[in-house]
Amino acid sequence: MIDKNTFRDAVVEGIRRVKTTGTVTIADDETFTHAGLDSLDAMNLVLEVEAITGLNFGEFDLSDANTINEFYRKAEQLGGGA
């Protein structure tokens, strides 16, 4: 199980890795495009979050959950949310 703060940190770290930037500013209800991610970046973000958290999102399309809040709800559905 992963709590939302830890998940948020994993998403922010994933965005840093995908965008190769040190600073990421995104609210839980802002879309990932706000952080500069396009559709290819979104696929890579899912892979990064999987690597950081150990969760497996399978063939998940991040466009179905385009905010940290929605992405966390998906993690909860997989049994990863606290």
Give the SS3 label for residue 31: strand
Q: Is residue 66 part of a domain?
A: yes
Q: Is residue 82 part of a domain?
A: no
* Residue 64 identity: D
Q: Is residue 8 part of a domain?
A: yes
Q: What is the pLDDT of residues 41-71, one digit of tens each?
A: 999 999 999 999 999 998 888 888 999 999 9
Q: What is the pLDDT of residues 2-47, one digit of tens each?
A: 899 999 999 999 999 999 888 899 999 999 999 999 999 999 999 9
CA 47 to chain CA centroid, nearest Å: 9
The count of domains in the chain is 1
Domain membership of residue 30 as a residue range: 4-77
- Give the CATH number, domain containing residue 68: 1.10.1200.10
Structure tokens at 29: 């209800």
The residues, any chain, with a CB within 8 Å of residue 3's CB and separated by 6 or more, are 81, 82
Q: What is the pLDDT of residue 3?
A: 92
Q: Is residue 58 part of a domain?
A: yes
The C-alpha torsion from 50 through 56 and 61 to 65, rounded to 10°, is -80
Q: What is the pLDDT of residue 82?
A: 54
Q: Is the pTM of this model over 0.85?
A: yes
Q: Is residue 28 part of a domain?
A: yes
Q: Is residue 44 part of a domain?
A: yes
Summary mean pLDDT of the chain: 91
